[in-house]
């Protein structure tokens, strides 16, 4: 087990005075259960229930009150009742709607008990087969590993610390960008990262990718509400990886005969499973960022390593000197999207991009971030400042004077002028600082 940032988030939750039961949300195999097992070391007593087991499931199926249920849990786990801190983790909670209902009573009747729940298919059962007690639980997203977590796995403790504090010296830039290149190639799925950290064997990772993908395909019947949706979801999981970081049309997606309504429903189902996101553009220059839901969305997947494996571009990504040169820049955009999302444990976090609201123009910014009272444009590109045409158009119309370019070179800040003479600061941020963009701008 290498250090996951979610541990600190869990500790902040545990320190709250008015703490509610915590529901973990995330795709399969992003490390939810392993994370809680590690977190349990902070407690005197750890009660672990997996509701896929009939004996554990039956604990919630009676009409006993919450105190009697808790006594049964202690007996089932063969743990003594003590006055110390106790963590109860209910895994695969989607298997019992009654267990979900009991979360409110854990909150109301047993406030000293620390309760966490998780489930691999939870996202698609919410608001359909099960209903979480409103106002009685809180949520936390668990995502694939970020780059700083990858450094932790690689035993680069001092480099990780310097990364988080955004103080990597110039003479360590090449080493750090090389490690980021490797991270981009293998992705952030915890089993992949852990295996690579131990063996440094890239070829052996393919078996793990294949197992992960087969698990997602096997879940199709559970995701889908009918046979047609099952076929559409299967199609997306076979063909969709090739369109990572690209704008897509839902109707006839990837050459299929499926209509926009069918494809849209399937994509939304996979979004709930947190396997992908349809990111819609905005035309705004000032907050708030309002998505244009009638425009073509950008398809972003949960993990770059899986994209590279399915799209068969691992060799290309491995061989390029600059990840911006791989797969027409799509790999670079996908990994930046992944790092931006890794910075946020909010389940509802979204990534946004910008397009110009005018006929006859293709001006587009890869990402936009709302930082305090500003919308900050973020381009994932190299080249001369004057060639960042879309960025210039955005800054001409924006009331603020900061823009970001993510690239493979070192950190720098340029003074740039638009054609009308407006001056702005262009923050040139190396890929490895992507997650830290908000704190860099705030400084």
Domain termination residue (choose one: 294, 329, 364)? 329
Domain CATH code at residue 68: 3.40.50.300
Per-residue confidence band for 128, with pLDDT thresholds at 50, 70 and 90: low
Do both 313 and 248 map to the same domain?
yes
Over residues 304-309, the mean pLDDT reads 98
Strand order in the sheet with 22-25: 45-50, 86-91, 114-118, 22-25, 138-141
What residues make up the domain containing 403? 352-442
Is 187 a domain residue?
Answer: yes
Residues 124, 193 within the same domain: no
Residue 341 lies in a domain: no
Answer yes or no: do 133 and 175 share one domain.
no
For 199-220, write each residue's pLDDT tens digit: 999 999 999 999 999 999 998 8
Task: Flag whether 335 is in a domain.
Answer: no
What is the pTM (predicted TM-score) of this model? 0.94
DSSP 8-state class, residue 130:
B
At 30, is the secondary structure helix, strand, or coil? Answer: coil
Q: Quick one: which H or E segment has residue 49?
A: strand 45-50
Same-domain status, 319 and 218: yes
| Same domain for 282 and 244 | yes
Model confidence at 170: pLDDT above 90: yes
CB within 8 A of 353, min separation 6: which ones? Answer: 279, 281, 282, 298, 364, 365, 366, 367, 368
Is the pLDDT at 360 greater than 80? The verdict is: no
Q: Is residue 281 within a helix (H) or strand (E), and if so which, with residue range?
A: strand 281-282
301 and 188 part of one domain = yes
- Domain match, 180 and 295 both: yes
Is 342 within a domain? no
Q: Mean pLDDT, to the nearest integer, of 50-72? A: 93
What does the pLDDT read at residue 219? 87
In this structure, the answer to whether residues 189 and 257 fall within a common structural domain is yes
For residue 66, give both structure tokens: 């919450």
Is residue 148 helix, strand or coil? helix
Based on the domain organization, do 176 and 110 belong to the same domain?
no
- In this structure, the answer to whether residues 402 and 280 fall within a common structural domain is no
Same domain, 411 and 293: no
For the segment 402-425, what is each residue's pLDDT rounded down to a tens digit?
999 999 999 999 999 998 999 999
Question: In the block, which residue shows the tokens 């960025």?
Answer: 391
| Whether residues 293 and 220 fall in one domain | yes
Please state, rounded to an integer, the average pLDDT across all residues of the chain.
94
Mean of the pLDDT values across residues 61-68? 90
Question: Which pLDDT score, from 0 to 100, does residue 404 have?
Answer: 97
Predicted confidence (pLDDT) at residue 1 exceeds the cutoff of 90: no
Domain count, the chain: 3
- 3-state class (DSSP) for residue 14: helix
CA-to-CA dists, residue 29 to 34, 35, 88, 207, angstroms: 9, 11, 21, 14
Angle 190-199/205-218 helices, nearest 10 degrees? 170
């Amino acid at each position: 087990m290498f250090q996951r940032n979610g541990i600190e988030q869990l500790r902040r939750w545990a320190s709250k005075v008015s703490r509610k039961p915590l529901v973990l949300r995330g795709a399969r195999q992003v490390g939810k259960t392993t994370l809680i097992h590690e977190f349990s070391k902070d407690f005197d007593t750890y009660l672990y229930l997996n509701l896929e087991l009939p004996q554990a499931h039956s604990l919630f199926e009676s009409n006993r009150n919450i105190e009697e249920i808790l006594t049964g849990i202690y007996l089932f786990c063969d743990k003594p009742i003590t006055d110390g801190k106790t963590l109860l983790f209910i895994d695969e909670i989607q298997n019992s709607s009654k267990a979900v209902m009991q979360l409110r009573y854990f909150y109301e009747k047993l406030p000293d008990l620390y309760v966490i729940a998780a489930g691999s298919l939870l996202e698609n059962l919410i608001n359909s087969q099960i209903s979480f007690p409103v106002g009685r639980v809180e949520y936390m997203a668990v995502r694939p590993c970020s780059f700083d977590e990858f450094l932790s796995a690689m035993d680069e403790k001092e480099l990780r610390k310097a990364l988080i504090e955004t103080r990597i010296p110039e003479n360590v830039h090449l080493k750090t960008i090389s490690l980021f290149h490797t991270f981009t190639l293998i992705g952030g799925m915890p089993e992949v990262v852990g295996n690579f950290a131990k063996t440094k064997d890239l070829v052996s990772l393919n078996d793990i990718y294949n197992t992960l993908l087969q698990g997602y395909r096997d879940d199709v019947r559970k995701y889908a509400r009918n046979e047609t949706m099952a076929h559409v979801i299967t199609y997306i999981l076979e063909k969709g990886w090739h369109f990572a970081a690209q704008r897509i049309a839902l109707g006839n997606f990837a050459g299929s005969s499926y209509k926009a309504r069918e494809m849209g429903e399937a994509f939304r189902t996979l979004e709930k499973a947190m396997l992908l996101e349809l990111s819609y553009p905005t035309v705004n220059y000032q907050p708030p960022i309002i998505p244009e839901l009638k425009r073509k969305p950008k398809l972003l997947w949960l993990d770059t390593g899986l994209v590279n494996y399915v799209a068969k571009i691992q060799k290309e990504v491995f061989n390029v000197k600059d990840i911006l040169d791989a797969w027409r820049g799509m790999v670079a955009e996908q990994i930046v999207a992944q790092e931006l999302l890794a910075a946020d444990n909010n389940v509802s976090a979204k990534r946004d991009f910008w397009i110009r609201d005018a006929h006859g123009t293709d001006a587009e910014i890869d990402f936009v971030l709302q930082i305090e009272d500003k919308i900050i444009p973020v381009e994932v590109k190299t080249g001369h400042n004057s060639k960042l045409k879309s960025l210039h158009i955005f800054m001409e119309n924006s009331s603020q004077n900061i823009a970001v370019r993510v690239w493979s070179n070192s950190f720098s800040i340029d003074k740039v002028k638009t054609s009308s003479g407006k001056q702005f600061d262009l923050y040139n941020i190396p890929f490895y600082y992507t997650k830290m963009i908000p704190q860099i701008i705030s400084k």
